[in-house]
Structure 1
Amino acid sequence: MKQMIRIGFGFVALTLLVSCGSLNQGGIGSRLTGLVTGQSAAVAKPAPSLVPAEEMHANPGKYLRVNTRNLNAWSSLVQAAQNNGRVTWVDQTNTSMTFENGLLVATRGLVRDLMGADVSGSWNAIRNGGGTAQRRHDFLSDQDEISTELLQCSIVSEGTEVITRAEKKISTRRFREKCEGERLTFTNIYWVNQRGAMVRSLQAVSPDAGYLQIDVF
């Protein structure tokens, strides 16, 4: 497998997501090419219908709204399973995403999935208002083998911010997490409400899949 290219992200490119409308395309998929030798485009799927915002607001905890930024495609997900603190959500195309305390730990059905991740240190740092953490991310290589990347991460609070999610304003505290490994670098952003729950995030999936914006209803 080819040597992966280390990349960095400008802060401006990572902040083009504060509304729930269309987002500019972008993410690690188009920039970090070393993990990509056989997969370069997503398999076409039917466009899932979005659940109306009114229904999402009326049923807290039932829905996620996700934007796959490389495809600039929104989808609504419903909860499918819970297991040891991890919650799996699925959309109408059977694409699934698994989260632990709002942090992405696995995907299935994207162009190159995140097969698994250990993010417990990142969540502890967020709860403590910032700090450092080590992550482990597992990807499926072109040889159908698991490729593991260890990342050192720094989490900082960027203060309070009022966000608008489906026409409703929410007071949040914003955190930025920068992670660097031998072959991979990315930055995630999290918005946590006054109860300590994550209500919005921008999270990296894999070099092919890029970033997801996740709104939690």
Structure 2
Amino acid sequence: MRRVSVKWAAVLGLVLLGGCNQGPEGPSLELEVFQLVRQRVSSIGGAASAERPPLTRAGLDEVEGAYIEVTLENRDIFAYLSQQLVRRDSSPGQIVVWRTEDNITLSMRSGVLIATRGLGDDILSASAPVIAGRGGPARGGERRYQIRGLDHRTQVLVLACSLQDLGAETVEIVELSYATRHLQERCEGGGDIGGGVVVNDYWVDSRSGRIWQSRQWAGPTIGYLRIRQLTI
């Protein structure tokens, strides 16, 4: 467990931005954020948790490309991931792969987490009951996870999930407000997850169907990830 969290912390220090323009006319936000996060990583072993870079919407508007902010909830460690790949397969929904500079990746189908790489005890694959054109799960039912364990063996977790619409909520992300529907997915797996319950939350744009914010389970070791869409 300690190895995983330390590696995640190091990853987040090298965050932004794979496509950064370093010329004299390039936007300054990338460099400012990069320097702030480097300072943060240098103090990662200290007692006090580091503050997040002071992002502004004016600064984010100068950044090219799509970025998400991801927080490892049980360590309050964060990173910015850039969109690296968009593809489709035979299942409904669009798959988007997000990546840090040192190749930790999250894969999402219509905004639902279906794979991680580089975190340790990764989700190798996960089912996602989605439909085309709308983010988040479309219904309850069975969700199946394949997770790599500490012994490098693959563990299959089968969870029984229900989906509830908790109503309209306004979400604010760096000075912008979005009208959303709050969807909550509750999954039970009996002994597969120690008798506990997995709860995933999604804030889905009421018009476009885009997920602006979510809190999603990334497996028994990693726990929950909080994800915000900063730019598109």
2:95 corresponds in structure 1 to 86
Aligned residue among 220, 223, 227 for 1:207: 220
Superposed CA deviations along residues 161-203 of structure 1, whole A, max 9, x for unmatched, are 1111112111111011001113123100000012111111000
Unaligned stretches of 5+ residues in structure 1: 1-38
Q: Compared with structure 1, are the counterparts of its residues 162 and 56 closer, same or farther at alpha carbon in structure 2 (3 Å cutoff)?
A: same
Per the TM alignment, residue 95 of structure 1 is displaced from its structure 2 partner at its CA by 1.3
Aligned equivalents of 1:215, 1:81: Cα separation in 2: 18
CA-atom RMSD, angstroms?
2.5
Contact 2:15 2:100 in 1 (8 A): no
2:199 corresponds in structure 1 to 187
Aligned residue among 160, 165, 182 for 2:173: 165
Aligned equivalents of 1:149, 1:190: Cα separation in 2: 21
Per the TM alignment, residue 144 of structure 1 is displaced from its structure 2 partner at its CA by 1.7
Contact 2:135 2:204 in 1 (8 A): no
More helix by share: 2
1:63 corresponds in structure 2 to 67
Aligned equivalents of 1:128, 1:137: Cα separation in 2: 17
More strand by share: 1
The residue correspondences of 1:99-114 to structure 2 (distance < 5 A) are 99-114=108-123
Unaligned stretches of 5+ residues in structure 2: 17-29, 31-54, 89-93
1:95 maps onto 2:104 in alignment = yes
Q: Compared with structure 1, are the counterparts of its residues 189 and 60 closer, same or farther at alpha carbon in structure 2 (3 Å cutoff)?
A: farther
Aligned residue among 186, 208, 214 for 1:178: 186
Give TM-score scaled by structure 1 length: 0.72
Aligned-pair identity in percent equals 26
Per the TM alignment, residue 91 of structure 1 is displaced from its structure 2 partner at its CA by 1.3
Q: Compared with structure 1, are the counterparts of its residues 113 and 99 closer, same or farther at alpha carbon in structure 2 (3 Å cutoff)?
A: same
Per the TM alignment, residue 132 of structure 1 is displaced from its structure 2 partner at its CA by 1.9
Q: Compared with structure 1, are the counterparts of its residues 137 and 193 closer, same or farther at alpha carbon in structure 2 (3 Å cutoff)?
A: same
Select the structure of larger CA radius of gyration.
Answer: 2
1:151 maps onto 2:159 in alignment = yes
